[in-house]
Structure 1
Amino acid sequence: MSRESITPNGLNPDRETIQLGKLTVPRLFIGLWQLSSTGWGTTSVTRVRREMRRHVEAGYNAFADHYGTAEQIFGGFRSTLPDPKVVVGATKWCVFAQIDITRSVVQAAINERKEKMAYDRVDLLQFHWQDYSDRQYMDALEYLQEFKNSGDITELGLVNFDAARTDEICTQFPGLIVSNQVQFSLIDTRPLDGMGDVCNKHGIKLLTYGTLCGGFLSEKWLGEPQPDEYGGPMTPSQRKYLDVILGAWGTWPLFQSLLQTLQAIGGRHGHRSISNIATRWILDHDFVGCVLVGSRLGLTEHIDDNDRAYGFRLTPEDNAEIEKVLEKSKGRELVRVLGDCGAEYRRGGGHE
């Protein structure tokens, strides 16, 4: 496999970065979960890696997720680079089944990540634990701290831990955790119910997913009739978020009102897109580090539009207009209906 250098060209001067411990990363990660299923479409590995290169050249050098072959594809791409440190790979260790936590179990999980990603360490390992009643997650974190100290892991984060457990972990292991990956959007605002306070208390950041609700927060759906969840082609993400929009948040007409408001605000900020405004609303929260943007690499990418989420902030007037719509929704009740961050996956037993 040939090794070709990557030279970032024409980077947006407004591109924002943030520190996650020792890692300097852009505030927009490229999420790789859409490599997990043909439900998002299919393309060749060669084309995916070519698009990874194009993203890195544009300044999007951080990639995240472990579903399907995401780790191997990222690792194969990274192995072509003369300097693998120009990219950052975030992955996960998710414990769903009942297991006995030992040092060798934790080491095996880390080694698997390293092998798949073809690197001598894991840049950002994000830890998910399904059953809170089994407090071995604290034992696992003790071992993870050991492997972080040895250099097998550069930084350690959490995935879909709720506010109470995040607070517990950060109190027990001060300075160990740099992030928690949770769902956060204009539709799902549960991180405002305690999680943000925990982040600020311990100096950690959220990595957010679902920020564009599977693409529903975009011009594509402005003025469109309510879709039939089973009547047409929809991605797995769209089915998931449509259920939240209609089942827990509000109605399709109210969602259309939100899209219209975001479009009007975008017009006042240099004709930015609905997605730009929805992303900026998340990034403007001080406890948010990065937004994970799902990308169907090799099929559809939005580098130019994503770039326009940088370089501005929403005004108090913008936020007041958005809040006026959100007040009409049931969004503030989601923490009661779904539970705190990540609770919906534990209740249903599904993957985070």
Structure 2
Amino acid sequence: MDSAHETFQLGPFTAPRLWTGLWQLSSNAWGTASVPKVRQAMGRHVDRGYTAFADHYGSAEIIFGQFRAGLESPDKVLGATKWCVFKSTTLSRESVENAVRQRMDRMRTQRVDLLQFHWQDYENRDYLKAIELLCELKNEGLIAAIGLCNFDSARTEEICTKFPGMIVSNQVQFSLIDTRPLHGMAEVCIRHGVKLLTYGTLCGGFLADKYIGLPEPEPYSESGSLNPSQRKYLDMILKAWGSWPIFQDLLHVLRDIGNRHGGLSVSNVATRWVLDHPAVGAVIIGARLGCSEYPEDNAKVFGVSLTDRDREDIDAVLERSNGARLTETIGDCGAEYR
């Protein structure tokens, strides 16, 4: 196993700082491989030190559970899943425990490593009751660690204050394009010892060398060249953050920085920039397992230190964008899902 990965403490776990996201298993729209090929790809990732996998969409929990159950040392691989409440529901100890046990069954485990909780309707403050019940289940050994998913700064502060030491993470969108976590959330997390698990860090793959010099994509072209994730992030780049020309300037700056560091990719530099923020525990990189994966290139982020000049060059482009105003135009972290 590759031991070069950086690690951080996440509750009882020593976890790698790059995780493999499994949301592509939710739909054929991203392109899929057979289940055996997906499990083989998981094995390749683990062999290279990518020992944490996240998300529950589609058959992700089942395939991950099958994979981990076949390992000689399954405890060395961390599995994070979610419990999402999208509409008002009657909460009870039984209903919450059933939700947790369903994930245990699908993942073939005696406890959930990291259960990330999402609650859509803030007007219904039963999310506090849900957290209280999850804490009970954690104390009984059904959950190793409790995290949040797409909670905003105010509710994260509220929950961490009411349940001190019980929340270890919050999964939020964070990238050079979406810097909302820097406007309140990071401060809350540092104060309460919560780590950010970030997704969208490569903007669906747009923060990559292959887009340098390309014309602005047409999101709904007949060729169907963009997947749903890319359409989402392209919309954010063009309508909320700035424009395609400014984005091109950012790509060129990242390319120049990569050259200064011995040939790092644009994606490497974009990932390193996020990892360097103190509140960030790990970046979750979506991989089309068995179809398109870049474990060797992604690992190049480790051991790299961005310089003051690098950050100044990046900031010079970001200052020309609307990034600092996204909390006003979109809202705090997770607002787009409510």
TM over 0.5: yes
Equivalent position to 2:60, from 53, 70, 73: 70
Equivalent position to 1:47, from 22, 37, 43: 37
Deviation of 1:83 (Å): 2.2
Partner of 1:110: 100
Deviation of 1:28 (Å): 0.3
Deviation of 1:189 (Å): 0.3
In 2, the alpha carbon distance for the partners of 1:334 and 1:274 equals 23
Partner of 2:279: 287
In 1, the alpha carbon distance for the partners of 2:120 and 2:324 equals 25
Cα deviation 1:184-210 (Å, max 9, x = unaligned): 000000001100000111011100000
Instruction: Indicate conservation of the 8 Å contact 1:184/1:191, yes or no.
Output: yes
2:50 partner amino acid? Y
Length, aligned pairs only: 336
1:173 partner amino acid? F
Residue 130 (structure 2) pairs with residue 140 (structure 1): yes
In 2, the alpha carbon distance for the partners of 1:241 and 1:204 equals 26
Partner of 1:5: none
Partner of 1:4: none
In 2, the alpha carbon distance for the partners of 1:277 and 1:174 equals 35
Partner of 2:51: 61
Deviation of 1:12 (Å): 5.1
2:260 partner amino acid? R
In 2, the alpha carbon distance for the partners of 1:127 and 1:281 equals 27
Mapping 1:113-132, distance limit 5 Å: 113-132=103-122
Residue 229 (structure 2) pairs with residue 229 (structure 1): no
Partner of 1:349: none
Deviation of 1:37 (Å): 0.7
Partner of 1:33: 23
SS at match of 1:336: helix
Cα deviation 1:16-43 (Å, max 9, x = unaligned): 0111010111000000001111110021
SS at match of 2:298: helix
Partner of 1:240: 232
Equivalent position to 1:193, from 183, 189, 198: 183
Equivalent position to 2:251, from 259, 263, 273: 259
In 1, the alpha carbon distance for the partners of 2:136 and 2:32 equals 39
2:83 partner amino acid? W
Cα deviation 1:152-198 (Å, max 9, x = unaligned): 00000000000000000000000000000000000000001100000
Instruction: Indicate conservation of the 8 Å contact 1:12/1:307, yes or no.
Output: no
1:118 partner amino acid? R
Deviation of 1:342 (Å): 0.3
Unaligned 5+ segments in structure 2 are none
Cα deviation 1:228-274 (Å, max 9, x = unaligned): 00113111110000000001111111100000000000111111000
- Tell me the percent identity: 60
Partner of 2:154: 164
Equivalent position to 2:294, from 282, 286, 302: 302
Partner of 1:337: 329
Deviation of 1:86 (Å): 1.5
In 2, the alpha carbon distance for the partners of 1:267 and 1:150 equals 51
Partner of 1:274: 266
Cα deviation 1:117-166 (Å, max 9, x = unaligned): 01110000000000011011100111100111111000000000000000
SS at match of 1:311: coil
Instruction: Summarize the Cα distance change of 1:17–1:215 in structure 2 as closer, same or farther, 3 Å threshold.
Output: same
Deviation of 1:315 (Å): 0.9
